[in-house]
Structure 1
């Protein structure tokens, strides 16, 4: 992940409603939730939640898909993992005793 991409993701997550929404979608699993369900759960007006969801989608942390007339959002687990890997790539100098399973091992091409 490039630093510009990571910066965009962190910018999206710097707003409390977006961070809470991402956590909700991670918990929901791959099935996700509709925009209306998310807005209701977050006690946020639908237009405001739509804005937040678009920001999360633009940052690569959330996917949107159409199911009939509804838009279903789900966490982009690959994007979330890339962000975590970006943060921990140089963790503890690669010493697994300190960082556990979070150390990123880059395979040689």
Structure 2
């Protein structure tokens, strides 16, 4: 797939895809004979995973660390799990805070609606 096709499929700009490749959070993408990126299904799985992780707010630095650990193979599985567990804890904390804000917002809407 071309960078344009992948960009459209994942709703990411080509610049974002190039950036992700440059900083190493997606593997280096093979090039075709013309020198253009030629994305494989495996590349797309990485992009989908990274987009999901970015969507829940994981910092780029954490994703870089995760990919570094992934590249180390099975010996780094425990470290990857620990990294994900820590990020999950942080996500739950953010979700709890968002729920508190949502409740306050609902209360405010209710009060204002009943005036």
For the aligned pair, the TM-score class normalised by the smaller chain equals 0.3 to 0.5
Higher helix share: 2
Normalization by structure 2: what TM-score? 0.32
The structure having more radius of gyration, on CA atoms, is 2
Higher strand share: 1
Structure with bigger RCO (C-alpha 8 Å, 6+ apart): 1
